[in-house]
Amino acid sequence: MGATRTSPSTGTGITVAIARDPALVRTVRLIAAAVARRASQDEEFVEEVRLAVGEACALMVADPASDSGPVTVTLAVDGRLVVDVVATGHVHVDDEPDSDVDGVEPWALLRGLIDDLAIAHVGDTTTLTMSWPVRAA
């Protein structure tokens, strides 16, 4: 797992690359919560970001169609909290008929959590981008 940090004068950000191991998703959730907390002291906001980033990472890590290379997560704060989750491979972003867990479709859950969600497939890379306005403390 590697991490880089941007200069505070250009906003705050961090990039983390994790192996495709579901056990590492918890680490990314903790990092996302820390970045969200730094952006806003609103605990509801922090929890929403933590949950959404964890769900996005879990979906990208678990996709059997894209099992090569790490999943990279970039979190940046500069007026908005923007999170990019990038995976090598064409990740399937539609719920399969038998994909529900306790009656909840995984991708539908993520789409329900985030108002500003975009998924892009460019070449052999899938990028999921989420963003939130930063609320004052």
Read off the tokens for 103: 């009656």
Task: Please choose, from the candidates 75, 85, 67, the residue with its C-alpha nearest in 3D space to the C-alpha of residue 20.
Answer: 67
DSSP 94: S
Sheet of 71-77, strands arranged across: 2-5, 12-18, 71-77, 80-88, 125-133, 116-122
The angle subtended at Cα 44 by Cα 117 and Cα 77, nearest 5°, is: 55
Q: Which residues pair with 84 in a beta bridge?
A: 74, 129
Q: What is the pLDDT of residues 89-135, one digit of tens each?
A: 777 776 565 555 555 677 778 888 888 999 888 888 889 999 999 86
List b or e across 51-83, with b for residues whose CB sees 16 or more CB atoms inside 10 angstroms: bbbbbbbbbbbebeebeeebbbbbbbbeeebbb
Q: What is the pLDDT of residues 51-99, one digit of tens each?
A: 999 999 988 888 665 557 899 999 999 889 999 999 987 777 765 655 5
Domain with 53 in it: what CATH number?
A: 3.30.565.10
pLDDT of the residue at 89: 76
Q: What is the pLDDT of residues 19-47, one digit of tens each?
A: 988 999 999 999 999 999 998 878 999 99
Domain of 53 in residue numbering reads as: 2-133
In the chain, the number of structural domains is: 1
Q: How far apart are CA 86 and CA 121, in angstroms?
A: 10
